[in-house]
Amino acid sequence: MSNAGLESSPAGGAAEIEADAAAWVRRRHFWDWSEQDQASLEAWLNESLAHEVAYLRLEAAWNRTERLAALHPFKHEQPDVERRNWRVPLAIAAGFAAIAFASAAALPLLHRPMETIYSTPVGGREIITLADGSKIELNTASVLHLAPDQREALLDKGEAYFQIKHDAAHPFALRVAGRSVVDLGTKFFVRNGQNQVEVALVEGRARLESAAVAPSRAIVLTPGDVAVASADTTSVTKMSAHDLANELSWRRGLLIFHNASLASAAAVINRYNDNKLVVDDPAIAKLTINGTFRTNDNQVFARMAQDVFGLRVTYRANTTRISR
Amino acid sequence: MTDITETSREDSRPGAPMNASEVRAWFVREVLPLEADLMQFLHHNWRNKSDIADLRQDIYVRIFETARREIPARPRHFVFTVARNLLIDRVRREHIIPFDAVADVDALGFAMETPAPDRAVIARDELRRLRAALDRLPPRPREAVVLRRIEGLTGRQIAIHMGISEAAVSKLIDNGIRALADILYSDPEDRRNWA
C-alpha cells in the first residue's frame, strides 16, 4: 500500500484493521493452524503495512502472556491425582520420617493479594535483599513470590538460597509444594524439583512443616541436614559442610562435581543453559567425572568429555550430543 | 539531531529492504514499549480523541516503512519525530485551525529525553505486570486467556469448558487480545495517569 500515510485512513479504519488482526492472532494461537491458514495470513499481511503493524502489535502482546504459564504451579496446590506417583529416590529414602502430604488450601488463581514476583531465566541469578537485610538468592529458571509483608514467600519453581534475619515475633515462612520451611534464624537452601522438594540447612535452625500435620510433629532441621520431601514422604540425611558448599557453588557461577556420573552432571548443567547436553548412551552415562565448571558454559564440559574420555561431540542449534 | 529521513509518500517501496523479520523484531522490541509515551503525546497534542487510534496506526506505518530501509539508531527520538511530523502534516492538509493542536510540541523535548527503562528491571517485573494486566481484563475474556495460557486449552476446549459457542469464544478472545495490547502497551499499570 503506497499511500499508507495519514490521508488513507477512513474513520474507524484503524479499529477495523485491529479487529481483523485480533481474529488472525486468535485463529493462529487458539485453533488448529494449517499451511493454508499461514498462506492466507501472509496474503492479508502483504495487503498493507497497516495490517502488518496492527498484527505485530497484537501478536507481541499475546506472546508476552506466554510467561503467564509460570503461574501454572498453582494448579498443583489444588488436590490432584498425578502427584501420587511421586517417589523418593531410593538412595535417600532410607530412614525417612513419613509425613502425610497435604495440599495447601486451594488458592484462587488470580485474586491473591498483590505480591512481588521475582523470576530468573535459564542461566540467570538474582539476589533479593529484604527490608530487614535478609537475603534471598534465586538460581537459574526460578520463580519466587514474596508476600507484601516480606515474611512469607512461595518458591514456585527452581531453587534459592535464603539468609534470613531471625525475628521471633514474625518468623519467615517459605512455602514450597505444600510444605513450609519456618526459620528459627537460618541460612538454608531450597530446591523445588520436578517431583520432590529438597531443603538443606546451612546454619541455624528451621522447622519443616506440612499443612496436614500438627506443628508438634514438624521436623526441626539443624546444620548439615538435607530433607527431601516427595508426595507422601520426607527423608532427612546429613551432608558434610564441604558437600553443602559444593551444592551452593552456583552462587559463584560454578558447578562442582565430585564422582558424579556424566549423565547426572550433564543434567545439572542443562538447568543453566538453553543449549542442552544429550548423553543418551547408557554405556557412557555412568562414566565418573570430577571437576569444576562454569554454570553458563556447557561447551567446556563437552570438550572435557571429548578430551578426557575420547567421546564424540555433535553440535546442533539446541543440543550438544555426547556419544561414543 | 541525527538526520532522520522520514518516508515520503512517493517513496514507499525502498530499493534494498531490510530483513523483514529483523524489522519486525526491532519494532516489537524498540517501538511498542514507547507506546504509552506516544499515546500521552497524542492525547496532549490532538483535540479530537476519536482520531487517535488512526493517528497511531499511521505513525506506526511510517515508522515501519522507514525501518525497512534502515533501522533508526535512536528509536525514541525517531518515533517522536515521526509523530510530530505527522501531526503537522495533518494540520496543514486538513486545514485544521491549530488550536493547541501541536502547540505543545516543545513538550516533546521532555518525552525524548526520558531515559529508557532498565531492561533488567522490565524483565524482572514482567510476570507481575502480566498478572496486573490480566486482572484488568473483563472477567470473560480473562477466563479465556487464562484457560489458554495457564491451563493450555484450545479454543474449542475453551468453548466446551465455558459452555458457549465457538463463535462466542472467538469474540471473547478477540476482545481479550485487543484489550491486552492496550493494557500492556498503551496504558501500563505504572503509568495510569494521563487518561
Beta-carbon separation of A6 and B86 below 8 A: yes
| DSSP structural state of residue A51 | H
Nearest Cα to Cα of residue B161 among A175, A314, A24, A30? A30
Q: How far apart are CA B37 and CA B96, in angstroms?
A: 24
For residue B41, the tally of other CB atoms under 10 A from its CB is: 25
Give the pLDDT mean for B163-188. Answer: 92
Mean pLDDT taken over chain B: 77
Per residue in A4-32, pLDDT tens?
Answer: 333 344 444 899 999 999 999 999 888 88
Per residue in B94-134, pLDDT tens?
Answer: 665 544 444 444 445 445 555 555 555 555 577 778 888 88
Task: Identify all chain A residues contacting B58, using CB atoms and an 8 Å cutoff.
Answer: 4-6, 8-9, 50
Give the 3-state secondary structure of residue A110.
coil
How much is the pLDDT for B18?
59
The beta-carbon neighbor of A57 closest among B128, B174, B185 is B185
Q: How far apart are CA A51 and CA B38, in angstroms?
A: 20
Mean pLDDT taken over chain A: 78
Residue where the block lists cell 506506526: B60
Residue where the block lists cell 514507499: B12
Per residue in B74-87, pLDDT tens?
Answer: 899 999 999 988 98
pLDDT score of B50 more than 90? no
Distances (CA, A) of A171 to A168, A185, A225: 6, 9, 20
Between these two residues, A236 and B116, which has the higher pLDDT value?
A236
Beta-carbon separation of B180 and A121 below 8 A: no
Q: How far apart are CA A84 and CA A75, in angstroms?
A: 15
Q: How far apart are CA A183 and CA A165, in angstroms?
A: 9
Q: How far apart are CA A254 and CA A250, in angstroms?
A: 5
Beta-carbon separation of B154 and A118 below 8 A: no
Pull the grid cell for residue A60: 507481541
Interface test with B, best of A6, A49, A136, A142 (most B CBs within 10 A): A6
Pull the grid cell for residue B147: 484457560
- Residues linked to residue A220 through DSSP beta bridges, in sequence order: A207
Nearest Cα to Cα of residue A45 among B107, B173, B61, B55? B61
Q: What's the start-to-end Cα distance of chain B, in Å?
A: 31
Beta-carbon separation of A30 and B173 below 8 A: yes
The beta-carbon neighbor of A57 closest among B13, B32, B142 is B32
Q: Tell me which chain A residue has its CA closest to the CA of residue B90.
A: A6
Q: How far apart are CA A308 and CA A240, in angstroms?
A: 29
Percent with pLDDT over 70 in chain B: 71
Task: Identify all chain A residues contacting B149, using CB atoms and an 8 Å cutoff.
Answer: 65-66, 68-69
Q: How far apart are CA A155 and CA A268, in angstroms?
A: 19
DSSP A175-207: EETTEEEEEEEEEEEEEE-SS-EEEEEEEEEEE
The beta-carbon neighbor of A67 closest among B55, B130, B146 is B130
Percent with pLDDT over 90 in chain B: 32
As a dihedral over the C-alpha atoms of residue A199, residue A201, residue A205, residue A210, rounded to 10 degrees, the angle is: 10
Q: Looking at this predicted complex, what is its ipTM?
A: 0.81
How much is the pLDDT for B3?
37
Between these two residues, A35 and A93, which has the higher pLDDT value?
A35
Predicted model pTM: 0.48
Beta-carbon separation of A14 and B57 below 8 A: yes
Q: What are phi and psi of A256, to 5 degrees?
A: -110, 120
Full 3-state SS string of chain B: CCCCCCCCCCCCCCCCCCCHHHHHHHHHHHHHHHHHHHHHHHHHHCCCHHHHHHHHHHHHHHHHHHHHHCCCCCHHHHHHHHHHHHHHHHHHHCCCCCCCCCHHHHHHHHHHHCCCCCHHHHHHHHHHHHHHHHHHCCHHHHHHHHHHHCCCCCHHHHHHHHCCCHHHHHHHHHHHHHHHHHHHHHCCHHHCCCC
DSSP A259-273: EEEHHHHHHHHHTT-
Per residue in A160-218, pLDDT tens?
Answer: 999 998 888 888 989 887 788 888 778 899 998 777 888 999 888 888 887 656 666 77
Task: Identify all chain B residues contacting A72, using CB atoms and an 8 Å cutoff.
Answer: 150
CB proximity list for A288: less than 8 A, separation 6 or greater: A259, A260, A261, A262
How much is the pLDDT for B118?
53
| Side chain identity, residue A318 | N
Contact predicate A109/B150, CB 8 Å: yes
Rg of chain B in Å (alpha carbons): 19
Contact predicate B57/A14, CB 8 Å: yes
Per residue in A122-173, pLDDT tens?
Answer: 888 888 988 888 999 999 989 888 887 888 888 888 999 999 988 888 889 8
Chain A nearest-CA distance from B113, in A, is: 24
Nearest 5°: the CA angle A288, A226, A163 is 110
How much is the pLDDT for A64?
87
Beta-carbon separation of A23 and B170 below 8 A: yes
Pull the grid cell for residue A303: 570438550
Per residue in A252-296, pLDDT tens?
Answer: 888 888 888 999 999 999 999 989 999 988 989 998 888 888 888
Q: Tell me which chain B residue has its CA closest to the CA of residue A5.
A: B58
